Amino acid sequence: MKEALLILLLGIFTVLLVGCSGKNEVEYTNTASKEGLYVIEKHGGNSVTVAAAQPSGEQENFYDLYTYSSVPSEVEVGQRVKVEPDGALMETFPYQGKAKKVTILPVYKPNTANLDEIQVVQKALQTIKGSSEWPAITSVEFMEAQKLWQVGIKLGEDNRDVEIIDQLSE
């Protein structure tokens, strides 16, 4: 009986250990992607505003925005995510709803870069802090020869290119 209980406890411990260990792992890719939604703002512990990484349908100058509640706390500004809504979205601007499932997408980080996509988008968003417009990230590109990142940001009708030097903060 004691052996069966010990085996059961070891099994539960192993499942918990394996299940928790992958939670904060970051998957990197050398290829930039326009998949998913960029997390552009975090509200408290479990609510975020996200902007589509690509224009909406035929409207090449409009990027959908959503505010989702019930988002895991490890989701951070600058990440690209996929969100499966839990029910209907309120048709406000931004759209509002509850997240059923959030998938964090692989992070763009070329082999020769010091920074990754998350860090670069965070720095780029800092440059427009205080704007009354919701931002959309239109592009993230690493220019290896210059050791420079270029981030395209759309603010209302305004398109900006923000340059971020590829160096870690000290």
8 in a structural domain: no
55 in a structural domain: yes
70 in a structural domain: yes
pLDDT band at 170 (very low <50, low <70, confident <90, very high): low
pTM equals 0.83
> Considering only CA atoms, which of 56, 70, 65 is closest in space to residue 90?
65
- When divided into structural domains, the chain yields a total of 1
16 in a structural domain: no
63 in a structural domain: yes
Tens of pLDDT, residues 56-90: 877 778 999 999 999 999 999 999 999 999 999 99
Q: Six-digit token pair at 139?
A: 């592009």
DSSP string for 106-161? PEE--TT-SS-HHHHHHHHHHTTTT-SSPEEEEEEEEEGGGTEEEEEEEETTEEEE
Q: Which single residue is written with the structure tokens 């996929």? A: 82
Separation between Cα atoms, residue 73 and residue 160, nearest integer Å = 30
Tens of pLDDT, residues 113-166: 999 999 999 999 999 999 999 999 999 999 999 999 999 999 988 999 999 999
State how far the alpha carbon of 9 is from the alpha carbons of 6, 12, 15, 22, in Å.
5, 5, 10, 21
Separation between Cα atoms, residue 95 and residue 167, nearest integer Å = 36
7 in a structural domain: no
13 in a structural domain: no
Residue pair 140/99 in contact (Cβ under 8 Å)? The answer is no
Residue pair 27/107 in contact (Cβ under 8 Å)? The answer is yes
Q: Give me the domain span that covers residue 96.
A: 32-165
137 in a structural domain: yes
Strands 95-104 and 65-69: parallel
